[in-house]
Every structure is written in structure tokens, then in C-alpha cells.
């Protein structure tokens, strides 16, 4: 940091104020970093559990559709799929976690009842119903896992950026300003001593 040869008292006051502001910002960033990391760890634990559940749901869906195809025939399965009147829809909005904008995924028609599938009470089959229910649960799990994974990525990016700002303040910005403050303080004291000595000499003359 470049300094004037003869710094002024106002420069010292301004620098002290900037140091205080930087220290306050440093503390706030540390709190944000720690809070985001806590959110990340909590969500990561939930994500691991959700992924494990997703694998189980996927296997159950595969077994259900295989059983329905074997007992009802592939044509019946395809016909049941075509007969569905309402198709799954996903809407992505935004929510805020400690200043970080993350996606909020909401799905509709992800899982439907037998009547909503358009099969009716007579045309339905317990095997087709079980397969449809299994795939409905699978879609719901996929949507939830996708939201969590995207949120984790956003949080991780923000955590890394916040860590860099915290480190920059702690190891570069604040130490450099403190060094400049000490230099200005010493220089002002030297100037004051020189002025005092000059006045004494003038008085003696």
C-alpha cells in the first residue's frame, strides 16, 4: 500500500475506521461461512439417505413393471401408460438460504390414483397399479434428489467463495492495513517529536 511521505492525522483516522469495518465484515463472513457449512453438512446427510432410498425405489419399480409385463403383457402395460390423462409436471422456483439462491422444485401429477390414471375400477389391474405406484414414487424421489443435489452444488460454490474472502481479509487485507496504520502512527509521532524539538530550539534562541 503506497503511503505519503508525511501522512496526516485524518489519514490515520480513516485507516482505523477502515480496519474496524474490515474486521466487522470478517466476522460476518466467518459466521456466514460456518452457517453455510452447517447447512451443507445437514443437507449432505439427507442427500445420502435420499440416494440410498432412490436406489431401493428404483429396484422396486423395475420389479413391479417386470411383474406386470409378465402377467398382463407388454401391450397392456403400454396401453395403461397411454391412458394416463395427466402427465407429471415439474416447476422450478427459487428460495434463499443465507443469501444463496437455490432451486425449489415442486412436482404435480407425479403419483396418481387408479381413477386419475384413467383406467377405472374395471379396466385396472393390481399389477399395473403396483407398477404405476412404484414409478410414481420413483419420480417423486428423483425430483427431490435433483433439488437437493443442485442445492448442494450452489452451497458448495458459495462456501468456497466465502472462504476465499475470509482468508483474504484475515491474511492480506487486514494485516496490510494494520501495518500501514502502525507506520503512519510512528511517522506522525516522529513528526511531532521533530516539531517539539524545533520549537524548543527556537524558544532557546
Q: What is the pLDDT of residues 86-95, one digit of tens each?
A: 677 888 889 9
Give the pLDDT confidence score for residue 158 in this predicted structure: 96
Strand partners for 101: 96
Q: Which three cell numbers stand for residue 53?
A: 432410498
Region for residue 87 given its phi and psi (left: phi exceeds 0; alpha: psi -120 to 50; beta: otherwise):
beta
Please give the domain boundaries of the chain with CATH numbers for all domains. 10-193 (1.10.287.3240)
CB 60 within 8 A of CB 134: yes
Give the pLDDT confidence score for residue 115 in this predicted structure: 57
Q: What is the pLDDT of residues 34-73, one digit of tens each?
A: 999 999 999 999 999 999 999 999 999 999 989 988 888 8
Give the pLDDT confidence score for residue 161 in this predicted structure: 96
Regions of the chain short of the pLDDT cut 50: 1-4, 121-122
Amino acid at each position: 500500500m503506497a503511503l505519503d511521505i508525511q501522512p496526516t492525522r485524518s489519514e490515520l483516522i480513516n485507516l482505523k475506521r477502515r480496519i474496524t469495518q474490515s474486521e466487522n465484515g470478517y466476522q460476518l463472513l466467518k459466521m456466514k461461512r460456518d452457517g453455510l457449512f452447517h447447512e451443507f453438512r445437514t443437507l449432505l446427510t439427507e442427500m445420502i439417505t435420499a440416494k440410498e432410498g432412490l436406489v431401493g425405489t428404483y429396484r422396486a419399480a423395475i420389479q413391479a413393471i417386470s411383474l406386470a409385463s409378465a402377467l398382463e403383457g407388454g401391450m397392456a402395460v403400454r396401453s395403461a401408460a397411454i391412458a394416463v390423462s395427466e402427465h407429471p409436471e415439474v416447476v422450478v422456483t427459487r428460495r434463499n438460504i443465507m443469501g444463496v439462491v437455490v432451486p425449489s422444485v415442486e412436482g404435480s401429477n407425479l403419483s396418481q390414483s387408479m381413477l386419475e390414471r384413467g383406467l377405472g375400477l374395471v379396466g385396472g389391474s393390481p399389477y399395473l397399479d403396483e407398477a404405476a405406484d412404484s414409478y410414481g414414487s420413483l419420480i417423486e424421489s428423483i425430483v427431490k434428489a435433483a433439488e437437493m443435489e443442485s442445492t448442494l452444488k450452489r452451497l458448495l460454490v458459495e462456501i468456497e467463495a466465502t472462504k476465499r474472502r475470509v482468508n483474504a481479509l484475515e491474511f492480506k487485507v487486514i494485516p496490510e492495513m494494520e501495518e500501514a496504520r502502525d507506520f503512519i502512527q510512528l511517522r506522525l509521532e516522529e513528526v511531532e517529536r521533530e516539531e517539539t524539538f524545533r520549537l524548543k530550539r527556537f524558544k532557546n534562541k
